[in-house]
A and B are shown apart, each in its own frame.
Chain A
C-alpha cells in the first residue's frame, strides 16, 4: 500500500497551485482597499478594525497593480480550488483516509499526551508511533481541510454580490458582507501560516523523501 493515495497526491499539488495563485492575486485585491471592517458596510478609516499593509509587487499577481487582472486570476483559480476541495473530501471519505488517519482519538486529547507531542516536535523527533500522523499533524490537517479551506470558499461566495440573492443566509451567518470579507482575509493568513509551518517541517524531516512520496506515493512504513 502506498503512503499517499493517488487522489491525495493529485489534489495536494493542484491545491498548492490554486492556493498560491489565489493568495498572491488576493494580495493585489487587498492593495485596492487596504482596510477591513466588521458588519455589513464600511468605507472610511474610522470604521476599520485593521489597516492592512501594502503588499510589495513581487508578492502579488500579476506583479504590478492591476485589480482587473488580479480578479481575473482569482476568479479563474476559484474553480479548481473549490471543486478540488470537494473532490478531496469525497475521496478521503471514500477511501477512509479521513477517518483512519486524520480523525483524532479521545486519548490523544489528554494534556499529557499533547504536551509530549509538542516536546517531541521541539526535539525534531517525527516518529509517529502506531498512527500515520501524530496528534499535531492530525489537528493541523483537520483544521486546514475541515475549516480553513472550506471557509475560504464560503467567505468568498459571501462576498459575491451576484450570489447574495440566494446565499443571503450565508452572509448573515458570517455577520454581514464586510465581516465575510474580513474573515476571508483572516482565513487566508491562517492558511499562509500553515503553509510556512508545513514547509519548515517538511524541510526538517527530510524534504527529498517527503516530496518524492507526495509525487510517487512512497511506501507505507
Chain B
C-alpha cells in the first residue's frame, strides 16, 4: 500500500510538472515546435512526391469504418442525400484566377486516379480501401493559383457539435500525386458514412485531414482568420496537430 502511495505521489508530481510546462507560454511554443521538427524531418527524408504504399485489391478491408460525422443532418445535406447528390456542386475559389463550380458529372469526366491505400485514424486503427477521383492538382491548375496562395482549405457540409468541419494542407500535400478528390470507394459511389458524395484523400497524413462531404476548395494565404485559426476542425476544437503525418 505504501509503495502504491509512493508511485501515485510520484506520478502526481510528474503530472503537475508536465501540466505546468504545457500551460506555460514557452511550454506551448516547445510542444508546437516539436510538431514542426517532425514535419521538417519528414520533408527532409521524403521526396515531396514520394507515394504512400498502395496495395493490391485483395488487401481491401471487408468494411470501411466511418468516424466523426457518419450521417449529417444539418443544412441542405439530407435533401442532397435524398436526391442522390445530383445537384451537388463543388466550388474552387479563394486566391485563384478562375473560380470553378463543378457538378459530380464534371468531376467524374476528368482524368481519374484509382489507388488502394491505407487509412490511419489518429486514434490508432487502420482500414484499406480503393479510392477513385481526379487529382486535386488538376483542379488547382485549371483554376490557376494566385501568387500569394499558401494553403488549400477544404470546406465541408457536415456540422459536428455545432461547428462546420474544415481542414487544410500546404501546397506540397495539395499537389501530391495521391491527393485526390474521391467520389468512389471500392468501385461504388462513396457511402454517406465515408463522406458522400466527395471527400479528400491526403494519403501521407492521418484520417482527420481527409475532409468528407466536400463543398468547396479554397486557396488562402493564411489560416489565421479561418475558424479559430488552427487550420482545421479538430485542430481548433481539441488541439490536434495541424501536421498529421506523425
Contacts and interface: CB of A to CB of B under 8 A. Distances in A.
Contacts of B15: 24, 58, 61-63
A58 B18 contact: no
B238 A20 contact: no
A166 B34 CA distance: 20
Contact of A66 (B59, B124, B238): B238
Contact of B118 (A21, A79, A177): A177
A101 interface: no
Interface string A128-144: 00000000000000000
A76 B246 contact: no
B205 A71 contact: no
A19 to B, nearest CB: 12
Contact of B34 (A67, A76, A171): A76
A73 B204 contact: no
Q: How large is the interface on A (under 10, 10 to 19, 20 to 34, 35 or more residues)?
A: 35 or more
A73 B46 CA distance: 24
Interface in B1-31: 8, 11-12, 14-15, 18-19, 22, 30-31
B240 A43 contact: no
Contact of B245 (A58, A71, A162): A162
B91 to A, nearest CB: 29
A14 interface: no
B128 interface: yes
A43 B22 contact: no
Contacts of A63: 15, 18-19
A69 interface: yes
B235 to A, nearest CB: 9
Contact of B246 (A30, A66, A75): A75
Best-buried of A29, A30, A43 by chain B (most CB within 10 Å): A43
B193 to A, nearest CB: 13
Nearest to B14: A20
Contacts of B52: 161, 164-165
Interface string B100-139: 0000000000000000001011111111100000000000
Nearest to A75: B34
A177 B50 contact: no
A90 interface: no
B127 A41 contact: yes
Contacts of B46: 162-163, 165-166
A67 B126 contact: no
B59 A160 contact: no
Contacts of B55: 40
Interface stretch (B35-43, B76-84, B161-169, B181-189): B35-43
A192 interface: no
B51 interface: yes
Interface in B58-109: 59, 61, 63, 65
B126 A72 contact: no
Contact of B123 (A32, A59, A73): A32
Given A33-B124, A165-B50, A24 B14 contact: yes
Contacts of A67: 122-123, 238, 240
Given A44-B65, A58-B8, A162-B245, A76 B31 contact: yes
B159 interface: no
Best-buried of B45, B63, B121, B124 by chain A (most CB within 10 Å): B124
A204 to B, nearest CB: 13
A146 interface: no
A167 B50 CA distance: 11
A168 B205 contact: no
Contacts of A15: none
A68 interface: yes
A164 B31 CA distance: 23
15 contacts: A20-B14, A32-B122, A33-B124, A37-B125, A40-B59, A41-B127, A61-B18, A62-B15, A72-B239, A73-B31, A75-B241, A162-B245, A163-B45, A178-B126, A181-B124
Given A33-B123, A40-B118, A165-B50, 11 more contacts: A24-B11, A62-B19, A63-B19, A76-B31, A160-B246, A161-B52, A161-B245, A162-B46, A163-B46, A165-B204, A167-B45
